[in-house]
Structure 1
Amino acid sequence: MFKPEGIVPAMVTPLRDDQSLNEPVLRQLVRRYIAAGVHGLFCLGTNGEFFSLSFEEKVKVIEIVVEEAGGRVPVYAGTGCVSTQETIRLTGEARRVGADVASIITPYFLAYTQQELKEHFLRVADAAALPIILYNIPGRTGNALHPATVAELTLVPNIVGVKDSSGQFDNLLQYIGLSGSGFSVLAGTDSLILPSLFAGGSGAIAATANVFPEDAVSVYESWKRGAFEEANEAQNRLNAFRSVLSIGTLPSVLKEAMMLAGYDVGPPRSPVAPLDDAQRELLKRVYGSLTSPIGTHS
């Protein structure tokens, strides 16, 4: 069974000014990240604005990323929806167009019991012909996957990992402690990539890897070869950039940073607004203080 590991960028979804999908730039980003040495590509996550895209747009994004990746790295597709039925449907479409892994976020809007969440994931896993990673981000969904629930779900053969974006290191540690060696725990909070690796984690699905993929990859690869000082330096650079991501509504800051780096990813989907002048100047100062360039455009 597939084992998620390494650094996987949580890709933004490039849009044109008219809010339509910008396919050429999406393809450019795929090439860019693969050239940087990433270990996979994650489309339709939180920073990919999955919540603002139509069903048809989501399928198109997955199809483009799969086609451009060309099998060079695995493609993770965010296919979690509010209802179990729609999640099963989108996961099936992701498999049809060639995704390697489905990331399933907890249902949102309502507050669900742990039993309801468990049954949701069990039904999706039973219907899916893909490996699945669970996605815990309670700050956005209002629903936390308790460690005991994750431990039960690790027994399902095609549930192969969990992405934890709770921001709570103790939660991540509990996931690691309650899961077996064949189950991957991926950091979804970029400041915790290196600490999670030392604790037994398998890698990260990282938003900062959109802008600084080499640094994100360096955290993992340097740690893997025992170059801990290099890993820590790269982690600190990611932390410095992550510190400014909260100045605007997600993913406006990330998209603006990519525009500064020369990638025409366009605006966030409305009603999210672009940064104002003051926010943009703050971002420019932080971005400018990080000396490692994003790399050569392709």
Structure 2
Amino acid sequence: MTIPAPLNGVVPPVCTPLTPDSEVDTASLVALVDHLLEAGVDGLFVLGSTSEVAFLPDAHRRLVVETVTRHVAGQVPVLAGVIDTATLRVVRHAETALAAGADALVATAPFYTRTHPAEIAEHFRLIARRTGAPLFAYDLPVSVHSKLGAELVLELAAEGVLAGLKDSSGDEGGFRSVVLGARSRADVDGFSVLTGSELTVDSALAMGAAGVVPGLGNVDPAGYVRLHRLCVAGEWALARAEQERLCGLFGMVGVGDPARMGRSSSALGAFKAALYLRGVIACPLTAAPQLPLSASEVAAVGKYLAAAGLL
């Protein structure tokens, strides 16, 4: 389908349900997609960080895109992460994702090797030129160790290389610079600026962001759809109350004991445990080498769900 320009609204990064033997659970993935669509989301982003893209082998990646695009059947745009260390590998993932039915691509800056901003720009230009598909930049310096500066992003937008930005940098000043530039520059048209922060959606939308890509939106997509609609309607007091409820729910990402597991195991484990407790997916397993939550930690996730009115 044609991607709206700009893409706006709520575009959750879809979790990847796994079977107990670490294969893609396609039945649970379809159920999760239905859960999101029924809540009224505006698009789906598969193979992002919340999808555990860095942990998935290539065959898993392709199966995820094929399963989601086939089931969605054009109801909403499907963006596919094509995240890898460098350009040639990313282009190969992009070709596979587009052949599997993805509507647009999402790529980070190169990583593992350190790259100059000129090389990062060339990376995005080559992906766009070789695929011809709408391309969204994913600003994730905590993982790729390069920050996408506002000037670089806006330059690539003006060239028609980038269709949008998913900003998970935590740099609110830089984010605002991109929003202002996208709105004020005559040579930037139809560019989507999306926040990846679950906790500051109301303020990002007040700045002029087009939408949100919330990992927690897997657990409570209706809450984020409601929040977005309240902001669009200018109901800022109600939006703030909804945002604060979601902030409370987000506390589940800290249930894992940091003495025995990393932040990824805790956060993604909590999202999957919540989906399991809500009856959306059949198994809360996260991909190796992430560690599973304990029974008491899963019970703690249930308390967050109950407090938010989701159980």
* Pairwise same-fold verdict (TM > 0.5): yes
2:12 — aligned with what?
9
CA-atom RMSD, angstroms?
1.6
1:30-41 matches, within 5 Å, as 30-41=33-44
Residues 82, 107 of structure 1: 8 Å contact kept: yes
User: Secondary structure of the residue that 1:166 maps to in structure 2?
Assistant: coil
Residues 82, 106 of structure 2: 8 Å contact kept: yes
Aligned residues: 293
Residues 218, 230 of structure 1: 8 Å contact kept: no
1:258 — aligned with what?
275
1:67-216 matches, within 5 Å, as 67-179=70-182, 180-216=188-224
Specify the code of the residue in structure 2 equivalent to 1:41: L
Pairwise CA distance, 1:89 = 1.2
User: Secondary structure of the residue that 2:248 maps to in structure 1?
Assistant: helix
Structure 1 unaligned regions, length at least 5? 294-298
Pairwise CA distance, 1:223 = 1.3
In 2: Cα distance, 1:256 partner to 1:171 partner: 34
Percent identical across equivalent pairs? 27
1:285 — aligned with what?
303
In 2: Cα distance, 1:215 partner to 1:61 partner: 25
State which drifts further: 17-26 or 100-109. 100-109
TM-score, length-scaled by structure 2: 0.89
1:218-233 matches, within 5 Å, as 218-233=226-241
Pairwise CA distance, 1:27 = 0.7
In 2: Cα distance, 1:222 partner to 1:75 partner: 24
Residues 36, 213 of structure 1: 8 Å contact kept: yes
2:259 — aligned with what?
none
Pairwise CA distance, 1:292 = 4.2
1:273 — aligned with what?
291
Specify the code of the residue in structure 1 equivalent to 2:51: G
Runs ≥4 residues deviating over 6 A: none
Structure 2 unaligned regions, length at least 5? 183-187, 257-262
Specify the code of the residue in structure 1 equivalent to 2:141: P
User: Secondary structure of the residue that 2:309 maps to in structure 1?
Assistant: coil
Pairwise CA distance, 1:278 = 4.3
Residues 253, 270 of structure 2: 8 Å contact kept: yes
Residues 95, 129 of structure 1: 8 Å contact kept: no
Q: Deviations over 1:142-173 (max 9, x none)?
A: 22111121121112325110000012221211
State which drifts further: 228-237 or 182-191. 228-237
